[in-house]
Amino acid sequence: MCKGLAALPHSCLERAKEIKIKLGILLQKPESAADLVIPYPEKAEKPAKTQKPSLDKALQWRDSLDKLLQNNYGLASFKSFLRSEFSEENLEFWMACEDYKKIKSPVKMAEKAKKIYEEFIQAEAPKEVNIDHFTKDITVKNLAEPSPSSFDVAQKRIHALMEKDSLPRFVRSGFYQEFIK
């Protein structure tokens, strides 16, 4: 048994430090409810069969990223395609911005804005999107007082990038080609 600080064996001190660290982690308040969710391995999303659009609608996706994003089946297919290329961060950012615009509470809006910034905008972010410095500066200024339009400029840039780059690759991919056969 450990007695007195001077008489504590080295392993006893190490064990006490481990316990202190573990307790500290357990006592930390999570930043959001998402921190309380137990992670699980992600599987490729498969669009529900009932949501499969007509061939005419699917053919419209070639020319309109908006029509693709508005269709749940198209969105899921596009997301699966981007995930297969390890390039889903632009779509995830765009979707996070869409969710952000729906927030009514100023407190929740500020929390979500911080999360989006840390995940997608700041330098070395885990899912950093490719936006120019001008757009990044405008976005950072907008975040001083978060509003539903705080990410609009960045979201429009990313939308244009997906339309110019990701959409044509998706249309040429097996994901889309198999669907329109």
- Domain for residue 11, yes or no? no
Q: Could you tell me which residue, 15 or 137, shows the higher pLDDT?
A: 137
**Residue 29 pLDDT exceeds 60:** no
Q: How many domains does the chain have?
A: 1
Instruction: Give the mean pLDDT of the chain.
Output: 82
C-alpha to C-alpha distance for 67 and 153, rounded to whole angstroms: 20
- Domain for residue 108, yes or no? yes
pLDDT 10s digits, 81-140: 999 999 999 999 999 999 999 999 999 999 999 999 999 999 999 999 999 999 999 999
Paired tokens of 149 = 């339009």
- Domain for residue 92, yes or no? yes
- Domain for residue 156, yes or no? yes
Of 61, 17, 32, 70, which Cα lies nearest the Cα of 168? 61
- Per-residue model confidence (pLDDT) at position 179: 80
- Domain for residue 3, yes or no? no
- Residue 10: is it exposed, middle or buried by C-beta count within 10 angstroms (0-12/13-18/19+)? exposed
Structural domain for 114, as ranges:
55-178
- Domain for residue 99, yes or no? yes
C-alpha to C-alpha distance for 175 and 43, rounded to whole angstroms: 16
How far, rounded to the nearest angstrom, does the alpha carbon of residue 103 sit from its chain's CA centroid? 16
C-alpha to C-alpha distance for 12 and 2, rounded to whole angstroms: 7
**Residue 148 pLDDT exceeds 90:** yes
pTM score: 0.71
- Domain for residue 119, yes or no? yes
Domain of 120, CATH number, reads 1.10.167.10
